[in-house]
Structure formats: C-alpha cells, structure tokens
Structure 1
C-alpha cells in the first residue's frame, strides 16, 4: 500500500463497530497515522481531545521534561470502573499485604501499563499508541467492553517526549514527496546526537532503577502508585530484523527474578505468536535480549511482582527503507506494534486471575524470605557528605522503600554510623526483593554475555558506607519524607571562611563564589583551627582583599552555603595547628572556562552525562563545541577542554590545534577511548597492558560468544586512593569504588606518587569480567596526569559520571576542572 492510499483499514478492521462520536486520529492530525511521523505536540493534542470525548479515559499531566513538554498518562477502563477507581487501586495494592488471601481475585481487575517509544527515534510505538488509544475509546465490540471491565490500563503514549519531538522533526523535514527507500538517504541517517535520547542525551531505558531523570521519576511515581501486573515497552531494532517479544535468553535472567515470572512471560508470548501468525509477520523470541539489569522497562517490573515485556520491531527509521526482507514501511512497523498492543491486552484478560495470583504470591514469598533472613536491617550513610546520603535516601523513597532514622550510633566493618548522618532500611518490608536488587553484589554468573551492565550495586555508586545488621533495635522512627541537609555559615568571620571538600555540592558553592568574584584558596595539607580539624582540600575565603565589603561577602557566602547544602565555618584567626591560613600551601583556585567536545564521533551518552552533572547539579556554565567547528574556534578563551569517549578520525585534523591549546596553558581532560587517541598522538606518555588471548578450539559458530565474553560491559572495581592528591580531595576513605565498561588498562607510573588512583590486587567488587581482563586490571591505574608545555593532559579510562547515578566519583571531574593546576 502506498502512503497516498493509506487508510485506517490498514490497521483496524473496517467492519469493527466503532463509536462515530469518538474522533479518529486523522480528524485531528490532518493525516492518516503513518503518513507522517507524529510529533509530541500533535500527540498531546490528539490524546487530550480523545480523553475529552470518551468516558473510558481519564488524562493527567504527570510532570514535565527538561524541555518543558508534558508527560501524559491516560487511565483507560470502563466507565463503571472509573467511578470506583480509588477503590480498585486500594484493593489491588491490598494483594501485596498479608491479608490478601481473603480477596476474591475473580472480581479484581488486572492492571496493565503500556508505554511507547522510550527511545525517541523508535517511533512506531508512539504512532501505534494513537491507534490503540482510539480503539480502546471507540470500540463497541463485546470483547472490548469485557476487556475494559476486567483491566485498568495505564497508558503512556510517549515515554520520551523530547526525543520523539526531535526525531519526528528530522524524519518529516527530510521526507520526499516521492518516497525513496535508499538507506543512504538523509532521512534515514540522523545527525548527532539523534532522537534516541532525552534532552541531556540520556538513554531513558536505563534509568528505571536509578530514577535520576524527570521522565523516569514520573514513571516510577505512576508505577509505585499502582504496581501494575504487566508492563509493555515498545522499541525498535535494526532494519534487517523482524519482531521480537519476550521471554529473552533463558540463561541471562537475573537470579532474583522468580521462575514463575518467566513461565507467565512465555504464556503471554503465546498470544503474541498467535496474533503474528494470523497477520503473517515474522517474529522471534528467546534470543538477543536478556532480563538481567533491573534498570530497564522490561525488567524493572520483574523485581516488583509484575511482568515486564519488551517488544522490538525492525525499524524503518523513516517512512520506507530497503531491508533484507524487502521494503520495510513505517506503516508496517506501526501495525506490528499495534498487533502486540492488542495481543497484550488479550493475554491480560485471558490470564487475569493467574497473573493476579502470581502478584499476590510474589509478595507472600517476599514476606517469608525476609522473615527467614538473619540480617534484619541495612545501615547506610556518609559521615561528612550528608547531601549524597540524602540523594540516596531520596532515590529509595521514590521506589516507596521505607527508611528509618538510626536509633543509636554503631561501629561496623571499620565504619562509624551515627544517628546524625546515617539511616536504616528494615528488610522486613514490601520492597524486600527490590532492596536486594539495589544492594546485590554478584560476581559469578551462568552466562558471560550481557546485553547491558552486569553490576549496579547502588551504595557503591553513591560511595556510601553500608552494612547488614541483625539488630532490629537499630530501627528508629520512620522517615516520611527525607529532607536535604541545611547549609549555613556558623558565624560571621573577621579573618576567613572555611569549608571542607567532602560535601557533594562543593563545586556548586565554588562556582557560586567565583561567579560573584570572590577569591577562594585551597589548602594542600590538613590543619586544625579552633579545635576543629580540616582535611586535604579545605577551601578558604579570606575576608580581606576581596571586591566586597565584609557584610556583602558574608551575604554571598551564606547564600552559596544554603544553595549547596554545606556548612561554612567562620574563623577570626589565621593561626592554626598545622599550616596557617596565610601559608603558601593555600593556593588560589582559578575560575575554569570550560569547553565540552560534542558532535560526530563523540559518544553522546558520555557527553550528556558530563553536561548534565555540571549544568543541572552545580550550575556550572559550559560551552559545547562541535567537532566540525573546532577549526574555527578561538580556544584561548577556555582553560579546560573535556573530551568524552571518541571514535573515528574526525579529530585527526585538529591535533596541532589541540596540542597548542595545552602547550599554552590549557588543560585537556580525556575519557575512555579518547585516552588511546591522546597516547597515540603523543599528548601523553602511557604504557597499556594488553591481552594476548587467542581463540583455540573455538569454531566459527561460537566466535560471537568468545569475543563477547571478553567485553567488560559494566562492572564495579575497588581502588586505593592517595587522599593528598588534588584529584582525590573530598574523598574520605582510602578506597574508592569505580565503575568501568572498557578494556583499557594503563600500566602504573614508576613514581608511586603519580598513581593517586590505583586498582587493588583483588579489585572486583561486583559484576562480570573475564579472567584474562581481571589479570590485567589488577594494580593498573585508571587515572594519569602529565604536563605538556605549560598545560596538562588528564586521562581517565573509566566513566566517573555514569548514567547520572554514579554520584560517588563525580568529584573526579570537578577536581580536574578546579584543581588541575595543583596536580
């Protein structure tokens, strides 16, 4: 069927009884679904009008994206159910309680959460959502009416509004009137960074567990309010594929996921198979995709008593494209996604009581497991960084995990936990399994291949001390809403203000002070004043020789302290135990002028993580410099250039210019694969440790498995750190957990003081790494800094800003920005 001839009949049965008072998509969009790519604003308009015309739909704006777009939720069910929706929700959640045995499941609706296009450039899901929502609002068929009586459907028409808008603009503005299927056409080749991600270039389908981004926080709020039984997540994959539905690869299911979850996923899959058999569309299951990392939409439900289901449709990436199976049209991809939407609802209706029973039993088994566990509580905290502790607790509460105040001070595992800076998680609670998933440490696996990361132990990510304990008397009062720490200035100073480097928002305070032209110094050695000890990296604000009066300086410092949640200490003397405040060991902190390399060849995820942490958390202004514009940029206006992970040859023509930037006093900070490029082009001298592994007795069929087993897709490792080195200012312990997803290993420098961060001899904390790579990483170093002319080159093999939730190592980047001239 050509695009000019497309009609609603291509998707929906022309003989199906529909209420003519309900607007079809074309009547409001001005085109039939699939003729153009729906933009998010059009989608919002249609869904709003659809809800207004139907008593089966209630619509809410649940929040906003970074770009201010609404995040909609449609609750779709029968009018009768809408009248008692609060009662239905209450009864549904009651299935998680001990009294659930008394509830009659035959009368209880099932809750289904259908979400579309979390990757914005995988648009067939959101476009299919238009048709599915219309059908549910307008169909008068008996089977639809029965379905609406037995289901409550939580319907999110666009999981990623900003990405969908970005991609729809690209696809529509590059569309030909006479369509071309040539995959080389501009329509099918987005410019960097593409529409997959959100505003800050994050993959939103990795944020269900960390829940750091506004889109995710809205979804988690909806999820935890309802605890849906089935959640579907509509995606796209390579053009030469067909259609995938779960279950995934059996050997790659997280061991915390109950076996019955997979059996029910298989049963639901049979409904998809039947629907696609009738349609005649190719499909497959139990290959390619796994159910391991709980940060994805198709796995997060599995650890919450639900069933997550991934759909992957071969992508047309535009309107029509050549594929190995012939021409792949956008219309066809939409129809397949719609088919999966229908088969999901059919399965949910048919298996309703069985799935509800599973849901009830999941929480019953939860309670039984928790009661048998000898460990009764988890204690966590950070003695000198209450802001990070707050953000960790805030994340837990987003998932409705109960946290309590610590009842009494304890020492455990060499760490001190005090009532003022620590909290307690009782393990005997509804979210016991989810807590396990967040704190789990696993290093042995059935399979050596992973679709995504193999470890995410969250207290390591936040660099928090944590300990399992058996004493229930450690549980204090329940914290209903965790509050951020209060920042303050202890007293108005006559001589200087001092603040320690430990607080997460120290860079935000530094930036605030420098933006207000306040001169700040940093102490390179510890000291004590007025009986209080101050560690390496303490910052000092002299009262004299500032541009501001004492009163105005106090106001600026107080304003910054409150904003950054930091305690600033006023001192009336510069005479201390240790270095005095006038010592040459206090050096001025220069204001960085920061450029971030972006564009073709730069890994957009990595660049987005850096942009996000500096912009949204510390309010630090950066200039994003596109690789294609680098030759015309005056680099003398910048002090620092951050180079995220990079691939390709796009930088080769800029080698001389970048070297000149460093040699004239600039600092270049290179991450991950960029490190190799910097070494190859003699920006820095490094020796790499390489694996000599060769394949022996491996046949061609197993080539992919052999090579895949050598990938370090994401694991956590332990390092020892030199706290006297400026790159480590602010860290409290001599060990630091780091996240790594590369196989780049640097040999330690011969001078030990040049190895301020070094992997231990037994570094694996959690996750998978091959034996060959484990041998290489032992005692290697992920960080080096060297002089080049008047400037410095700083390299990091690891991602210290991973996915917005690796709070524990964010400071490495900001130390490299503010303290590079001290290294």
Structure 2
C-alpha cells in the first residue's frame, strides 16, 4: 500500500490546486470587505490563466472597494482594450496626491535647490507581462493588488504611507488575452507536463506581441504604439524612482534579476545606477532564499538598449529592473529543474514584487537623493549654448514625427526664428527644430542622438544602434549657437504645443497640379487620389517651371479627361492636402524647362493590390511592421495571406505579394506549411511583383532565381569550447546603421532628398552587385558603419554588396531588399523604399 502511495502521489500533485496562503502566507490580517481574486474572476490564481477581460473586471471591482487606490484609464489598445493604471498608496496620501506628485517632480527639475527628501514618499512603477505569453507577471499582479488593498498589517500600512505605487497589471492587454485563451483552451483536467503537448506550443503569431505583432518591450524610446504611449505618459507624469518589468524566459531557466552582464552596460548609465541596482538585488536574494527558489544575476541579459522598459529608466534618473522567470508556458511543464508549475512561477514574481517594495521603502531617501543628484548633473551653465539642430527641407511630416517623439518624453525643443546654416547644411525655420542640451533630459537626448561604433563587448541582447535622426533620415548637427548673443546666435522659441501638420493647394487650375515626392505622406496622397478615380503620373526626369525645380518622382494630376470635373478635382485635392500635409501646386501650362507635362517621361501610377504573406515560417515582427505601416499610416488595405492557405488562393488578384523575413524551418516556427515555389513563380511570370525581405532573399535564390552572395567563411582559431558562443555571437549583426549611396533617378529612391541614405540592417545576407552600375541604385559607401556593431569580417562583405536588386522574370519582377526598411515603426527614413516598390515597380 505504501508503494502504491508513492506512485499516485505525483499524479495527485499534478491535479492539486494551490490556495491563497501558498502565495500570501498568513491570511488572518486581510480585510474581508476587499474581494479576493477568486471571488471575481471565478477561479483561484494559477488554476487557469487570467484573461485580460477578467483582470480588467477585477481591477474595477477592487477600485470600488478601497480608498487606497485610484484607477486611471490611459487609453485603448488596437483591439479596444483599456490600459489600466492603479495608483496605490495610503488614504492620507491620496488626499493630497497631486501635491505629492508635484513635489516629487521637483527632483527632476530643481538645479541648486535644496529639497528635503526625509519625509517624501518614494514612487515605484510596477509593470507586468509586456509579452503576453509570459503571463506569470500579470497573474501575480492580481495577488499584489489584493494584498496592497486588503492587508491590515502594520508593515503594509507603513509601506503605503511612504510609497506611491503605480501598478500596471498588463503592459500588453491584447497579447495577454490571446495567450490566455490558448493556454486555457488546451488545458487538460489531468495536467500533463509533457513539453510536446499542444498547450505549450502556440500557433503563429503567438501571444508575445500586440495586435500588429510588435514586441512592446522595444518601444519605450521610439514610443510609436498606444500601449507604450500609456507607459510613457505615466512615467513622465510621475518620474518614478524604480520601474520593474516582469518577464519570463525559457522553461529550463530559474529566475533572473538585474543587474545584467557588467560589460554590456550602456556607457550613458552610471556606475552608481548599477550599484543601486545591485543593492536592490540583495532584497530579491533574501526573499527568494526564504522560499527556496533558485535565481541568478549579472548573466544573460544586458542593460544597453534604451527602448526596453528596464533600461529606459536608467536614462531618466530612475532604476530599471528586469525580472525573468522560467516559464511554464501553460499550467505545468517538465524542466531540467523538475516539474515547473504555473503557481510556482506566479509566486516567484510576487515575491520579487514584494522585495522591490521592501527595497524601495528601506532605500527611500537614498533613491530620492540619487534622482535629485542625477538631474543636478544634467545642467551645466558652462554649456548653455550647446544644442542639436535637426530638420529636412522638403519633408516636414518626418521632422514633425521626430518632434512628436521628443515631445512625448518631455524633452524641450525650440522652433527657429530664422533660416540658418550649420556646418554647411541649411535649416529652414518652417521645417527645423533645435534641442538645447542644457536641460534636465540631457542624458535621454544623448540616448536618442548619439552614435557609437566602439564597444566593450561584441555580444548584444538586442540592437546595437538606434540613432533617431538617422532612423528618420533628417539632417542634424551639433552646435554651440543656441540663443547665443550676437550675429551668429541661433534665435529660437520653445515649443509649447506641437500643432498638427496640414498642407494646401496654392490655387485652382483647369490644367494640372504638381506635388513633389519628398514628404513622408506623398504616397498616402497619391493613393487617396487614385482611389477616388483620378489618373496620377510620376516624372522619371527632373524639370523646372518658372525657376522652381521639380525632382525625380514628382506627381502630376492633369485636369482634363478625368472621371471628376475641374471643381471636384480641386475640392478633392484641398481635402487630401489638408489631411496628408502635402503642398500641391497648380499649373496653367505644360511647357517646362526639361520634360513637358505631356511627355512620355511621365509614367502612370497604378493602384497597388497587396497581399502580405504571414504564418508559419514568417517572422511575425517583420510582417507586423509592414501591416502596421500600410494599415495605420497610409490607409492602404492589405490582404494577409497565410502560408497554409496559399495553395487555395488566386494570387492573380494582387499586383504585389510581400514576403517578409521568411525561412522554412525558422528557429521560432514549425516547419509546416511551406510556400509552393511553383505557385509563386507562375504568379511572377504572369505579371505579378514579389517583394522579398531579409532571409526571404535566400528563399528566392533557392526556389525562384539564383542569386550570388558574399559569405562569411571565418573559422575558429584558438577558440576554446567555452568561448564558442561568444565567437559565433560576434559574427551576428543584431542591428546596426550603415550609410548608403543612392541613385536618385531610380524609382526605388524617389523622394529621397540627398544622395545618401542611412539603412538599418539586422541580417547577414550580402548580395553581390550587378556588373551594370545602373542596376545598383543603392550601394554601401566606402566607410558605411554609422552606428552600431558589425564584425570586421562582415563589414568587408557588406562594402562589396548591394542591399537592393530587381530581377525580371516573365512579365513580372522580383524586388529584393536585404535590409529592414520598416524596423519597429520608427524607421521613417526608409519606409518610402517599400512604398516606392509598391507604387513604381512597373518602371523599375
């Protein structure tokens, strides 16, 4: 009988559910009037995965039951879910919460002012599950918010007297909802820890990302997505002293907390910041030791890219802390450390949340003074004229979008009072801004504008470069002339309200209208006009009218022989110019200095009908970037074609098929549903256009048309077994910025003002150049590295390669691009490459 018990005991454990005291120990000191999670969501925490709608319901119920919390709605996600913020502190603090906030903000803008921090509350921002399929964080937040509102212990009351807690239970509502449905719908009643079970193997695109398949933990600095907008709004409104970001990692890992790898720290992050992070870590050590959980620190993860939620605070006088819990990725799963249960992962996250608050309370004055000192160091009267100026002569929309990013981070910047020239570059007062560096956000400005090509380590957890003026492809210069007295000073005025960009039509015409292609939204205007039945043409040569030059790609709308009459055309143009910001010029004659308006060198622009291949084998990030770009910014509908359905779809209805980064057997995808090469080849031969990005170029070479590549054949010499990962890692190009030289006359480059273009590359695919120079409209410059890391071996290959090719096949074309022109929604400067491929492939 005893032997039988030992056989059945593990089976019993796999079915058992934990109770609240597993997480919170002594339950005797909790206010019974505060609803428990189970009483609202209908199950014990950890029994099922909480969906965002249930979490949202519990948050609202809690806010009705306690005076310790203020519930804030911060907007909606793309799927219309609310982004909630719970502000939790003592009742007495709530009575003068705005006064506390304003006093706290003085720490970040109070040079040479003495501030008494001895009685000042500390502000802690705790956020959970920015990756939706890393759910232990959001599930732990249920218990954290319950404890903070229901506990009557003296310890909790003292904590709340001294702390304002900004609790965000779900950084990614849409992803959490998607994953919770998957985990719950595939749960067995008799829990099965077999990693091969369907429960632990999500279908594409999985729950990690938001609606448009973005990794939200890379958007803190770019701030392009609504979920991040909410976080940045909260951060800048409160300027917390600590921000915690609760994640999950591989099932066979234990628990990680920062600091990360010391050698991979961004040079803008101070040693004092890391020392404080390490001191906070001692509280995590103690708490995890008490419950017997394994953990580690200073390995695996870096503190380098400021787009991550745990690194962004470090450029803002705060302490950012990353937590990574080994994931059960469902309810229970085998691991090298034994059976890993969902409740166990939740308890570790909750424990780290509590230890954070304990550290904040005990280190309160030290952390408040650290923030004060950080911002005191930002201001230097000796450098009061130091600044960065940026602008673009003919692309006010892109300049405006960069200004929007600065504005969202509460960075001060000014408009110019007159046109100026800096280091040989002209900056117009209409399309330029100047950013004084002598301001509280100095470090954050440097995080956006600095370049770096020298590093202590050749391994990166994420990208190694993200310089914003290069990503936006705007001109920029450093100058010491900001509001400087005298003739050379650049006079300016601080921007108070960033107004929306609008365009105009200069006059009504019965002949034709012209607009250049330089503005970011030029093709948005073109698409609107075509959709409304107008015939639009583009110039393949330059020309001038009355001394005004018009560049390659200038768009023309003639008035006669259109489906709309003259008045209707004018009214439509006025409406489109107002909404897109495009300035349109009327013309009364077809005679120009150069090609005339009736010349055959004006080519018809055809409406693109776009199919985007998605599904297994496609990198969801890349697909989502394209979907988001066309859908939300240009209002161009696209059809998402799943790999598994392609064989049943008539592709002839699409003028363009886009194949984002794709690999059969891609490491994060299953190998099912491979693309039928014969179907794609027939589509191209019959007149279709295939646009292939990054690794899809290799698929094209293997399946459609052979392409020559430069390859890195480096071998390991004097590399030990323990060094092998670093050896191979050093050959990865995880994300760097390179300068290219462009042929402005080629349609792929229409709208680019200068002869050079910064490109973002995160692949090691190097296509050889064509022997015919006109077939190489984009090539890398002789010294291409602008910012970031690339190995010397790969840099030599890159210099000999081209990132863009056109292959003609039958009646159609294959357009190849090895670099990512749409990276993370903030590479505005190269988005037009994709738009040009869609609108002008017929003349390439």
> TM (normalized to structure 2)?
0.96
Q: What is residue 664 of structure 1 aligned with on the other side?
A: 686
| Residue pairs, 1:92-491, within 5 angstroms | 92-98=104-110, 101-368=113-380, 371-373=381-383, 376-473=386-483, 474-491=490-507
Instruction: Please state whether the residue corresponding to 1:719 is helix, strand or coil.
Output: strand
Give the superposition deviation at 1:5: 3.5
For 1:123 and 1:282, locate their aligned partners in 2 and report how far apart those are by CA, in whole Å: 19
Instruction: Please state whether the residue corresponding to 1:62 is helix, strand or coil.
Output: strand
For 2:586 and 2:27, locate their aligned partners in 1 and report how far apart those are by CA, in whole Å: 79
| Residue pairs, 1:617-632, within 5 angstroms | 617-632=633-648
Q: What is residue 720 of structure 1 aligned with on the other side?
A: 741
Instruction: Please state whether the residue corresponding to 2:741 is helix, strand or coil.
Output: strand
Give the superposition deviation at 1:42: 0.5
Cα distance change of structure 1 residues 585 and 183 upon mapping to structure 2, 3 Å threshold: same
Q: What is residue 730 of structure 2 aligned with on the other side?
A: 709
For 1:707 and 1:375, locate their aligned partners in 2 and report how far apart those are by CA, in whole Å: 45
Instruction: Please state whether the residue corresponding to 1:105 is helix, strand or coil.
Output: coil
For 1:102 and 1:262, locate their aligned partners in 2 and report how far apart those are by CA, in whole Å: 25
Q: How many residues align?
A: 820
Q: Is 1:787 matched with 2:808? A: yes
Q: Report if aligned partners of 2:644, 2:674 keep a CA contact under 8 Å in 1.
A: no
Q: Indicate which of 548, 562, 567 corresponds to 1:532.
A: 548
Q: Indicate which of 596, 606, 618 corresponds to 1:580.
A: 596
| Residue pairs, 1:727-746, within 5 angstroms | 727-746=748-767
For 1:733 and 1:297, locate their aligned partners in 2 and report how far apart those are by CA, in whole Å: 35
Q: What is residue 834 of structure 2 aligned with on the other side?
A: 813
Q: Is 1:686 matched with 2:696? A: no
For 1:277 and 1:288, locate their aligned partners in 2 and report how far apart those are by CA, in whole Å: 21
Cα distance change of structure 1 residues 720 and 712 upon mapping to structure 2, 3 Å threshold: same
Residues 2-52 of structure 1 deviation map (CA, whole Å, 9 limit, x = unaligned): 554421111111344111111100111111001111111110110111111
Q: Report if aligned partners of 1:16, 1:141 keep a CA contact under 8 Å in 2.
A: no
Q: CA RMSD in A?
A: 1.2
Q: Report if aligned partners of 2:385, 2:436 keep a CA contact under 8 Å in 1.
A: no
Residues 596-635 of structure 1 deviation map (CA, whole Å, 9 limit, x = unaligned): 0000000000000000000000000000000000001001
Q: Indicate which of 493, 496, 516 corresponds to 2:512.
A: 496
Q: Report if aligned partners of 2:111, 2:375 keep a CA contact under 8 Å in 1.
A: no
For 1:570 and 1:338, locate their aligned partners in 2 and report how far apart those are by CA, in whole Å: 65
For 2:644 and 2:163, locate their aligned partners in 1 and report how far apart those are by CA, in whole Å: 52
Give the superposition deviation at 1:196: 0.4
Cα distance change of structure 1 residues 561 and 579 upon mapping to structure 2, 3 Å threshold: same
For 1:305 and 1:201, locate their aligned partners in 2 and report how far apart those are by CA, in whole Å: 31
Give the superposition deviation at 1:99: 5.3
Give the superposition deviation at 1:692: 2.2
| Residue pairs, 1:553-564, within 5 angstroms | 553-564=569-580
Q: Report if aligned partners of 1:320, 1:330 keep a CA contact under 8 Å in 2.
A: yes
Residues 269-291 of structure 1 deviation map (CA, whole Å, 9 limit, x = unaligned): 00000000000001000000000
Q: Report if aligned partners of 1:16, 1:139 keep a CA contact under 8 Å in 2.
A: no
Residues 561-617 of structure 1 deviation map (CA, whole Å, 9 limit, x = unaligned): 111110111111111111011000011111111000000000000000000000000
Q: Indicate which of 699, 702, 708 corresponds to 1:677.
A: 699
For 1:453 and 1:653, locate their aligned partners in 2 and report how far apart those are by CA, in whole Å: 30
Instruction: Please state whether the residue corresponding to 1:98 is helix, strand or coil.
Output: coil
For 2:370 and 2:816, locate their aligned partners in 1 and report how far apart those are by CA, in whole Å: 50
Q: Report if aligned partners of 1:643, 1:674 keep a CA contact under 8 Å in 2.
A: yes
Q: Is 1:505 matched with 2:521? A: yes
Q: Indicate which of 781, 796, 804 corresponds to 2:825.
A: 804
Instruction: Please state whether the residue corresponding to 2:138 is helix, strand or coil.
Output: helix
Q: Is 1:7 matched with 2:19? A: yes
For 1:305 and 1:139, locate their aligned partners in 2 and report how far apart those are by CA, in whole Å: 31
Q: Report if aligned partners of 1:424, 1:475 keep a CA contact under 8 Å in 2.
A: no
For 1:5 and 1:316, locate their aligned partners in 2 and report how far apart those are by CA, in whole Å: 15
Q: What is residue 774 of structure 1 aligned with on the other side?
A: 795
Cα distance change of structure 1 residues 425 and 3 upon mapping to structure 2, 3 Å threshold: farther
Q: Is 1:765 matched with 2:786? A: yes
Instruction: Please state whether the residue corresponding to 1:503 is helix, strand or coil.
Output: coil
Q: Report if aligned partners of 1:761, 1:779 keep a CA contact under 8 Å in 2.
A: no
For 1:818 and 1:547, locate their aligned partners in 2 and report how far apart those are by CA, in whole Å: 21
Give the superposition deviation at 1:531: 3.4
Q: Indicate which of 686, 702, 720 corresponds to 1:699.
A: 720
Instruction: Please state whether the residue corresponding to 1:47 is helix, strand or coil.
Output: helix
For 2:718 and 2:192, locate their aligned partners in 1 and report how far apart those are by CA, in whole Å: 46
For 2:473 and 2:17, locate their aligned partners in 1 and report how far apart those are by CA, in whole Å: 59
> TM (normalized to structure 1)?
0.98
Give the superposition deviation at 1:653: 5.3
Give the superposition deviation at 1:151: 0.5
For 2:32 and 2:674, locate their aligned partners in 1 and report how far apart those are by CA, in whole Å: 62
For 1:514 and 1:97, locate their aligned partners in 2 and report how far apart those are by CA, in whole Å: 51
For 2:161 and 2:480, locate their aligned partners in 1 and report how far apart those are by CA, in whole Å: 47
Cα distance change of structure 1 residues 475 and 243 upon mapping to structure 2, 3 Å threshold: farther
Instruction: Please state whether the residue corresponding to 1:228 is helix, strand or coil.
Output: coil
Instruction: Please state whether the residue corresponding to 2:78 is helix, strand or coil.
Output: coil
For 2:623 and 2:17, locate their aligned partners in 1 and report how far apart those are by CA, in whole Å: 43
For 2:97 and 2:28, locate their aligned partners in 1 and report how far apart those are by CA, in whole Å: 28
Q: What is residue 564 of structure 2 aligned with on the other side?
A: 548
